[in-house]
Amino acid sequence: MTFDATISTRISETRQALDEARSAGDDYLVDVRLGELESLARLAADHGVRVEGIAEALAAYGVTTPSVGVPLVDLRTQEPAAQS
């Protein structure tokens, strides 16, 4: 399996697990899955792998900025994000 396919599969699985955690009302697990999804999104962006809908999935939970120490990247365009 290629890196692109592997990262896409991991993102898909994590999004499913996030939905399941949300449906179960498990706030802690939602936070864990969001962290995983954010990390996978950055990894994909760092390697030029485009994953449809990831920015929207994160935004639905209010995740709009990367964590400290990670290069700011607009996941929708793969370009450096505008600094404000």
pLDDT score for 59: 82
Residue 79's pLDDT band (cuts 50, 70, 90): low
pLDDT tens for residues 18-29? 999 999 999 999
pLDDT tens for residues 34-68? 999 999 988 988 888 888 888 888 888 887 644 43
Q: In terms of pLDDT, which residue wins out, 70 or 57?
A: 57
Burial 3-42 (b: 16+ CB within 10 A, else e): eeeebbebbeebbebbeebbeeeeeeebeebbebbbebbb
Whole-prediction pTM: 0.71
